[in-house]
Structure formats: structure tokens, C-alpha cells
Chain A
């Protein structure tokens, strides 16, 4: 069965630290890749997505992610985090041949200390 793994369930950082959240998936075919963020009390928002082309994608709020096909990875990065980045981050994958159903990682809770 396909799966999406997020390496860390909880991450605590200080403001201005660099961030990298890991995401690996298990499907070998063509996939679309997403990172969503869920701020406390708010709904899921799309941070960035990869469909094709340049494997380094830039999203909102200074986030970026790199798709490495050989490693089945799509890690999320931000050079300098802010207190307002405190949220839960979800990696998700879908396949065109499965009607684009999203398969999700378990999420990473990120806490930024002021």
C-alpha cells in the first residue's frame, strides 16, 4: 500500500533557526506532491505543490521544497523561521491514476520559541 512518512512528529526551534521537515513516499509511479499547513484553529492551507518541472519549488511565506525522485522525498525547508510559523505541517501525495486522492503523512507539529 502507498504511504507517506514524515520523519518528525514534533519539532521545536527558536526564531531565526533554519527548518527542514522530511517527507518520504512509497509509490514508484508519477505523483503530485504537496505540503499543507494547519495553523491553530484554522483550516488546511496549501503551502506549495510539485506537479512537474523544476524539482525545487517555492511556496508561500518563504517556504520551499525539493523533490528528489531517486530518494522518493519531498522535504520542506525555510532558511529562517518566525514565531508565526508555529503550526502543524502535512505532506501529501496524489496520483493521477487514482483520481487524485490525497494520501497524507501523520503531520509534524512545529513550535517556534520567540
Chain B
């Protein structure tokens, strides 16, 4: 176990809806990254937060947004869901050392 938890485990939504995924970082970790892992592919970097500020973003549209809270937990919000958003969403936390601890992921299905 890595100490990183994510909720919910599974989620089913329909096109056009909005979704919020949550991540609780390992204790003391001030950096969190979110990744999208589509079926049969490696994870793709969505964005990263350090001490509540976004400090890196991958090639994802603005309808993917996030927040990091003072206790370093975080959220990933996706608006106007599309079928291609169906994927496993991974959260990872770090203490700025480059070593990442991953959560179990949230499996999102968009119908």
C-alpha cells in the first residue's frame, strides 16, 4: 500500500455530464499529479499541483481542471464528458523528490 487513496473506485456517467474525482495524498506529500490511462495504453500526464498551485499541465483541454487543498488532498474535475474520457484516472503524490506514489485509480466509464 502506498498511502494514496482515491474515490470513488468506479463511476459511470453519460456524455455531457460533469465528474469530480478525489485523491488523498500520502501524509506530508505536497505535490500531486493526475494521469489518465486509457485501456491498453500508458498513463498520460494531465496536470500537477505543488502547494495548491498548478505547476505543470499536459495536453488536455480546459474542461479538465483541478484543485489541491491545504491538507494536500486534491480533486480532478472533468466537464462536458465525452466518450473518450472513459479511462482509469490515477493520482500520484510526492515530496518533490521525483519519487511518486500511486493510488489505485478511479475507473470512469462514459456512456
Contact = CB atoms under 8 A, between A and B. Distances in A.
Interface residues of A, number: 24
Interface stretch (B15-23, B42-50, B62-70): B42-50
Interface string B65-77: 0000000000000
Interface in A56-111: 90, 92, 94, 96, 98-107
Interface residues of B, number: 27
B2 to A, nearest CB: 7
Given A43-B103, A99-B48, A51 B98 contact: yes
Interface of A: 4, 32, 36, 42-46, 49, 51, 90, 92, 94, 96, 98-107
21 contacts: A36-B102, A42-B104, A43-B2, A43-B90, A43-B104, A44-B90, A44-B102, A45-B102, A46-B100, A94-B98, A99-B48, A99-B50, A99-B55, A99-B56, A100-B31, A100-B94, A100-B98, A101-B33, A101-B58, A104-B42, A106-B41
